[in-house]
A and B are shown apart, each in its own frame.
Chain A
Amino acid sequence: MIASNKQKIKRQEIDEISHRKNNVSDYMKNKTLSNIYLSLIFIFSIFWIGFIGMDYFQKHPNYLINIKAFSFYGTLAFVLLVCLGIAFVYTKFPKKIAALSRGLSIYLLVLFLISVTFISANIAAADLMNTAGLSFLGLLQMQGLFIKVSFFLFSIILSCYAAGNLFCNVLNVNFTDRSKNIIEIAIGIMLVVMISFLIGALKGLYWYVLGPVLLLIIGINWKQSLEFSKKIFWNKIKGSKKLNLLGVFCFLFLSYIIGMNLLQNLTPWPKGWDSLSLYVNLPNLIHDHHALVKGFQPYNWSLFMSFGLILFNSIETTLSLAFMGGVFCLFAMYPIARGTLKLDVNYSIMALLTFYLIPTIGFQSFLEQKVDLGLLFIILIIVNIILIWSKNKHKELNSLEPIDERIEAIPSLKNYDTLYLIIAGLLTGFAFGIKLTTLFSFFGIIGIIWYLNLGAIAFLGIALLSIFGILLVKLDDMSGMRQYHLSADVVQWTLLLVGAGLILFVSFNNRKGLFNCIKQSVIYGSFFVLTTIPWLGKNYIDAGKKLSFNYLMNGKSKAPVYNANTFDLNHQKTLKNGQ
Chain B
Amino acid sequence: MDNRKISNSNKSFLKVAILLIAIAGVFFLLPSMAAKDKKETIGQSSVREEIQRYMGYEPLLQRYLSLPYDTSINSNVSGAFVDISFLVLALLPILFLFGFRTKPLLGISTMFLFALVFLISISNGSLFTQMGTVGIEQFKTLESNLKQESIISKAYQNIAFITQPLNRLIGNFSSNQDHVTYPIMILLFISGFFVLRNRISDLSIKTKSLILFTFFFSFLWVLLTAGIVWYGYPIIAISILLIFSGLFKKRPETDLFQKSASALGLGVLGVFIFVSTIYRFSNYQTYTNPQLSKLMFDLGEINYQSGKSNTKQVFDGFFPGGGWEAIQQINQEEKSLVYRVGTVFPYFIEKNDERVLLDNQLGIFYQLNKRYPKKELLASVLKANGYKYILVDLNTHTIDKTPERTLENKFKDFMNFCIQNQNLKLLATNRMIDASNDPQKPQYAYRVYGNIVPNKQGTYAIYEII
Q: Which of A1-41 contact B (CB under 8 A)?
A: 13-14, 16-17, 19-20, 23-28, 33, 37-38, 40-41
Task: List chain A residues, Cβ under 8 A from B60.
Answer: 484-485
Is A391 close to B, CB under 8 A? yes
- A544-579 vs B, CB cutoff 8 Å, 1 = contact: the mask equals 000000000000011111101011101101110001
List the A residue with the shortest CB-CB distance to B265: A49
**Is B213 a contact of A363 with CB atoms below 8 Å?**
no
A132-B51 Cα distance, complex, nearest whole Å: 44
Query: In the complex, how many angstroms separate the beta carbon of B211 from the nearest chain A beta carbon?
Result: 10
**Is A483 a contact of B295 with CB atoms below 8 Å?**
no
**Is A52 a contact of B296 with CB atoms below 8 Å?**
no
Query: In the complex, how many angstroms separate the beta carbon of A278 from the nearest chain B beta carbon?
Result: 9
- B245-289 vs A, CB cutoff 8 Å, 1 = contact: the mask equals 100111011000100110010001101110111111111111110
Is A170 close to B, CB under 8 A? no
**Is B186 a contact of A55 with CB atoms below 8 Å?**
no
A40-B286 Cα distance, complex, nearest whole Å: 38
Most buried by A among B51, B241, B269: B241
Is A59 close to B, CB under 8 A? yes
In the complex, besides A58-B152, A354-B87, A367-B283, 14 extra interface pairs with C-beta distance below 8 angstroms are: A40-B111, A62-B288, A63-B279, A118-B302, A121-B302, A281-B352, A342-B204, A358-B83, A359-B81, A359-B280, A360-B84, A375-B233, A451-B209, A479-B226
Task: List chain A residues, Cβ under 8 A from B186.
Answer: 464, 467, 491, 495
Query: In the complex, how many angstroms separate the beta carbon of B277 from the nearest chain A beta carbon?
Result: 6
A122-B302 Cα distance, complex, nearest whole Å: 7
Q: Which of A71, A360, A391 contacts B81 (CB 8 A)?
A: A360
Is B294 close to A, CB under 8 A? yes
Q: Which of A263, A480, A564 contacts B48 (CB 8 A)?
A: A480
10 contacts between A and B (CB under 8 A): A41-B97, A49-B91, A55-B73, A60-B74, A134-B306, A267-B305, A277-B344, A280-B347, A447-B213, A575-B384
Is A402 close to B, CB under 8 A? no
**Is B213 a contact of A124 with CB atoms below 8 Å?**
no
A4-B286 Cα distance, complex, nearest whole Å: 57
A470-B216 Cα distance, complex, nearest whole Å: 13
**Is B280 a contact of A357 with CB atoms below 8 Å?**
yes
Known contacts: A288-B351, A483-B38. The answer to whether A138 contacts B244 by CB under 8 A is: no
Stretch at the interface among A86-94, A103-111, A455-463, A507-515: A455-463
Q: Which of B390-412 contact A (CB under 8 A)?
A: none
Is B210 close to A, CB under 8 A? yes
**Main secondary structure on chain A at its contact with chain B?**
helix
Task: List chain A residues, Cβ under 8 A from B426.
Answer: none
Task: List chain A residues, Cβ under 8 A from B133.
Answer: 59
Is B346 close to A, CB under 8 A? yes
Q: Which of A66, A257, A562 contacts B279 (CB 8 A)?
A: A66
**Is B151 a contact of A54 with CB atoms below 8 Å?**
yes
**Is B81 a contact of A61 with CB atoms below 8 Å?**
no
Stretch at the interface among B15-23, B307-315, B433-441, B444-452: B307-315
Is B28 close to A, CB under 8 A? no
Query: In the complex, how many angstroms separate the beta carbon of A265 from the nearest chain B beta carbon?
Result: 10
Task: List chain A residues, Cβ under 8 A from B357.
Answer: 559-562
A329-B233 Cα distance, complex, nearest whole Å: 11
Is B420 close to A, CB under 8 A? no
Q: Which of A360-414 contact B (CB under 8 A)?
A: 360-364, 367-368, 370, 372-373, 375-376, 379-380, 383, 386-387, 390-391, 394
Is A452 close to B, CB under 8 A? yes
A-B interface pairs (CB < 8 A), number: 494
- Which 6 pairs show the lowest CB-CB distances between chains A and B? A138-B306, A480-B47, A276-B344, A69-B290, A69-B293, A359-B83
Task: List chain A residues, Cβ under 8 A from B350.
Answer: 288
Query: In the complex, how many angstroms separate the beta carbon of B309 from the nearest chain A beta carbon?
Result: 9
A49-B243 Cα distance, complex, nearest whole Å: 14
Chain A residues with a Cβ closer than 8 Å to the other chain, count: 174
Q: Which of A53, A355, A368 contacts B86 (CB 8 A)?
A: A53
Is B153 close to A, CB under 8 A? yes
**Is A25 a contact of B103 with CB atoms below 8 Å?**
yes
A577-B368 Cα distance, complex, nearest whole Å: 22
Q: Which of B38, B93, B346, B358 contacts A48 (CB 8 A)?
A: B93
**Is B220 a contact of A347 with CB atoms below 8 Å?**
no
**Is A367 a contact of B80 with CB atoms below 8 Å?**
yes
Query: In the complex, how many angstroms separate the beta carbon of A244 from the nearest chain B beta carbon?
Result: 13
**Is A559 a contact of B353 with CB atoms below 8 Å?**
yes
Is B223 close to A, CB under 8 A? yes
Known contacts: A134-B306, A294-B353, A358-B236. The answer to whether A485 contacts B182 by CB under 8 A is: yes
Is B324 close to A, CB under 8 A? no
**Is B272 a contact of A487 with CB atoms below 8 Å?**
no
**Is A487 a contact of B182 with CB atoms below 8 Å?**
yes
Q: Which of A83-130 contact B (CB under 8 A)?
A: 117-118, 120-122, 124-125, 128-129
Task: List chain A residues, Cβ under 8 A from B83.
Answer: 60, 358-360, 363
Is B418 close to A, CB under 8 A? no
**Is B210 a contact of A343 with CB atoms below 8 Å?**
no
- B183-206 vs A, CB cutoff 8 Å, 1 = contact: the mask equals 100100110010001000110111
